[in-house]
Amino acid sequence: MVELSAANESAPELKVRRMHRRDINRAWEFLKRVFRDVHAQTVEYQRPRSKARFAEQYDEEGVEQLLFEIGGHIVGYAECSFEVLGDDNWINPRYFDNRDMRPMFIEELATHPDHQGRGVGSFMIEQLMHLARVRGCTHLVLEVAENNEGALSFYRKRLFHKLDASIFLAKKIPVEPELLPPRRLTQRRRRGEEDGASSKRGRSQKASSRAVELQPSKAGAAKHRPTKVTDDGDATKRPARRAKRR
């Protein structure tokens, strides 16, 4: 028993208090650190979405913001409300009214990664349940991503069950890219090669033109063929080369 008491005295002490305005910057940096990895895996961002909105929530009525600290360092943050707040809230109040439920909504529940598995989360849930009983609430209601297996396991061990909640569905469809893929260009010739090719083409064209000038045309050859005069005085064309006598 003496050893157990000594161990309890040396263990760090977890304290809870309400957040003050001077804690807004520290609490916001803490939330960014905690949800950095979660946001990479979930469709929806965890609330709040911006630091400005986080600061506005401090002044809203019906909202409790709690800090859990060890040695002055924030290791946990909990935010809850006792009514549906905001025009863009995902909560349908009639769902609970029709079932005679008086819920307390857990808006945020964050534990520092280095302190998970040490009882911080359990103490936070216990504190929220205490607030709910004091306020006359019958249920704790929260939202968690379905692929956040660690959080789901944590809540199910504490007898949280799934309500009629929406599930994001997606189907992959084949699409064609709007832009063509990269294309390799042809090799550009060097300037010397281009000049040489041009001069060769020029010389071949000149040679062919001279050959055309030196070769007589068929029409001109026909004009210079010798003629033969017949007895009747008619002049007929005859071939320039006589046939060999047999």
Is the per-residue pLDDT at 165 higher than 50?
yes
* 59 vs 23, residue with greater confidence: 23
**How confident is the model at residue 88, as a pLDDT?**
56
> How confident is residue 4, by pLDDT bands cut at 50, 70 and 90?
very low
| Region 120-147 average pLDDT | 92
Q: CATH assignment of 2-157, given 3.40.50.1100, 2.120.10.30, 3.40.630.30, 3.40.50.2300?
A: 3.40.630.30
Is the per-residue pLDDT at 201 higher than 50?
yes
> Which sequence spans correspond to the domains of the chain?
2-157
| Region 38-53 average pLDDT | 72
**How confident is the model at residue 200, as a pLDDT?**
62
Q: Return the closest-CA partner of residue 106 out of 55, 70, 158.
A: 158
**How confident is the model at residue 32, as a pLDDT?**
87
| Region 214-221 average pLDDT | 52
* 208 vs 180, residue with greater confidence: 180
Is the per-residue pLDDT at 130 higher than 80?
yes
Poorest-pLDDT segment among 30-44, 185-199, 200-214, 229-243: 229-243
> How confident is residue 154, by pLDDT bands cut at 50, 70 and 90?
very high
What's the pLDDT tens digit per position in 224-237? 555 555 555 555 55
Is the per-residue pLDDT at 11 higher than 50?
yes
Is the per-residue pLDDT at 124 higher than 80?
yes
> How confident is residue 246, by pLDDT bands cut at 50, 70 and 90?
very low
pTM of the model: 0.64
Is the per-residue pLDDT at 118 higher than 50?
yes
**How confident is the model at residue 144, as a pLDDT?**
85
| Region 128-148 average pLDDT | 91
**How confident is the model at residue 217, as a pLDDT?**
52
Mean pLDDT rounded to a whole number for the chain: 79
